[in-house]
């Protein structure tokens, strides 16, 4: 039920963020779905809803769900870190940046809750290292498409993708490489957490056995 509740909260925050953006009547508001942070949260919504339904019928996540969780949580957590960086940079550059409650929920609250569920949840399996390649591939493909689209319409969802807003190609390349390194680092951290701390694994298995006994009775 916790996953379904998170899915409902995520859906409400996404709808509010969409309406809030459209009310601004700016090109940024009209390009709501162009943001990687929004795309990752839409994937998170689908994941939470699917995981919630499966949790009602299964005692342990199937292997494919752990794979999907690893990727989506890596994107969502990194998106939150990037959003925090953008807010900080906006303040440094003296650029006003409003942060509605939906952004707080999507980029800070939900990743934090999901990370806690990843560590202490009883149904998760061990994540595979090969997933790092998938985690990094998505922002690369998104970035290439965004650069092509931005060149066509003259707008980019994030300032560091626009060569007009950075000092030059060097800053652009370094920022992009740093962002990809964060994606890979977050994915690596999630995989390590899924494999580490034997005590947590034992507690998780005990909780899973207790749930099975409860259902049987």
- pTM for the model stands at 0.83
pLDDT tens-digit readout, 116-174: 888 877 666 788 999 999 999 999 999 999 999 999 999 998 888 988 888 889 999 99
Kindly state the DSSP code that residue 31 receives in the 8-state scheme. T
Q: How many helices (H) and strands (E) in the chain?
A: 9, 0
Which tens digits make up the pLDDT trace of 173-217?
Answer: 999 999 999 999 999 999 998 887 544 555 555 556 666 565 555
Taking the domains of the chain in order of start, what are their residue ranges? 2-216
- Which pair of tokens denotes residue 21? 């953006």
């Amino acid at each position: 039920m916790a996953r379904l509740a998170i899915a409902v909260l995520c859906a409400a925050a996404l709808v509010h963020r969409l309406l809030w953006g459209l009310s601004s009547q700016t090109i940024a508001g009209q390009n709501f779905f162009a943001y990687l942070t929004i795309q990752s949260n839409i994937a998170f919504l689908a994941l939470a809803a699917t995981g919630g339904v499966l949790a009602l019928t299964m005692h342990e996540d199937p292997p494919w769900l752990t794979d999907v969780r690893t990727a989506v949580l890596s994107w969502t957590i990194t998106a939150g870190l990037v959003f925090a960086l953008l807010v900080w940079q906006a303040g440094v550059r003296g650029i006003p940046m409003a942060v509605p409650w939906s952004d707080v929920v999507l980029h800070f609250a939900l990743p934090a809750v999901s990370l806690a569920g990843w560590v202490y949840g009883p149904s998760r399996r061990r994540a595979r290292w090969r997933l790092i390649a998938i985690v990094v591939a998505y922002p690369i493909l998104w970035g290439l498409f965004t650069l092509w689209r931005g060149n066509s319409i003259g707008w980019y969802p994030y300032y560091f993708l626009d060569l007009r807003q950075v000092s030059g190609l060097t800053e652009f390349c370094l920022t992009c490489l740093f962002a990809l390194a964060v994606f890979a680092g977050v994915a690596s951290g999630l995989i390590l957490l899924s494999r580490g701390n034997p005590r947590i694994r034992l507690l998780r298995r005990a909780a899973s056995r207790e749930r099975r006994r409860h259902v049987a009775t």
